[in-house]
């Protein structure tokens, strides 16, 4: 998931390139995204390279109700301007750039004029993971009394008492 931008950086403003990502893996620390696929457009700007990408990946998360490991499909649209560490003639320096230190954002073109997309895409995928992932929309979850997986079998905990009253009043509270 590295792109060599040497050619594009020397090209005139408005030049573009594109490349595709096929079935790659991003594995950084505890984050693991597999089957990373997508399309990346790169556009030379006055200050660097504008990257627009549509990328999909799979990841495994625990269902927030039944705790079963479940595979999720993630879909991101990415747009960021990457600024080169190296100086190129005619290129305007990024805002706040003192001309000495390299840009501190993670959106940068490295010393060897390549862009490493793994960290940028990792961040985008992480923010695309649902807050409360579900293995299926109607997952019944675990019984709060005996921890039986109610998707697999029923337990006896609620048999005599039935659903609590607040559940009924909550149902009548239609939230649009
Ligand atoms: Zn579940
Ligand atoms: Zn139970």
**Comparison of pLDDT for 37 and 98, the residue scoring more:** 37
Give me the chain's average pLDDT, please.
Answer: 87
Do both 95 and 134 map to the same domain?
yes
Residues having C-beta closer than 5 Å to ion ligand 1:
63, 65-66, 135, 139
Residue span of the structural domain in which 9 resides: 2-139
Between the CA of 36 and the centroid of ligand 1 the distance, in Å, is 24
Do both 42 and 64 map to the same domain?
yes
Mean pLDDT of 9-34: 95
Do both 37 and 103 map to the same domain?
yes
Concatenating the DSSP letter of every residue in 53-99 gives EEEEEEEEEE-TTT--EEEEEEEEEEEEEEEESS--TTPPPPTT--S
Residue 9 near residue 113, CB atoms below 8 Å: yes
Cα gap 74→59, rounded to integer Å: 7
Between the CA of 65 and the centroid of ligand 1 the distance, in Å, is 5
Do both 88 and 124 map to the same domain?
yes
Between the CA of 172 and the centroid of ligand 1 the distance, in Å, is 25
Structure confidence by residue, pLDDT tens digits, 120-176: 999 999 999 999 999 999 999 999 999 999 999 999 987 655 555 566 666 666 665
Residue 35 belongs to what H/E stretch? strand 31-44
Do both 150 and 76 map to the same domain?
no
Do both 49 and 134 map to the same domain?
yes
Q: What is the pLDDT of residue 91?
A: 77
Between the CA of 159 and the centroid of ligand 1 the distance, in Å, is 22
Between the CA of 138 and the centroid of ligand 2 the distance, in Å, is 18
């Amino acid at each position: 998931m590295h792109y060599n931008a040497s050619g594009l950086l020397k090209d005139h403003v408005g030049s573009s390139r594109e490349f595709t990502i096929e079935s790659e893996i991003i594995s950084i620390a505890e984050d693991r995204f597999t089957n990373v696929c997508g399309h990346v457009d790169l556009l030379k700007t006055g200050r660097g390279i504008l990257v627009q990408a549509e990328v999909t990946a799979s990841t495994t998360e625990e269902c927030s109700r039944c705790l079963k490991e479940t595979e999720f499909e993630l879909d991101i649209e990415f747009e960021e301007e990457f600024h080169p560490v190296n100086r190129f003639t005619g290129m305007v320096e990024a805002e706040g750039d003192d001309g000495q230190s390299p840009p501190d954002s993670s959106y940068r073109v490295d010393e060897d004029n390549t862009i490493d997309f793994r960290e940028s895409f990792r961040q985008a995928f992480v923010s695309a993971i649902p807050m409360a992932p579900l293995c299926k929309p109607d997952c019944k979850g675990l019984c709060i009394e005996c921890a039986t997986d109610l998707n697999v079998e029923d337990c006896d905990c609620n048999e005599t008492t039935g659903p609590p009253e607040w559940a009924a009043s909550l149902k009548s509270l239609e939230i649009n």
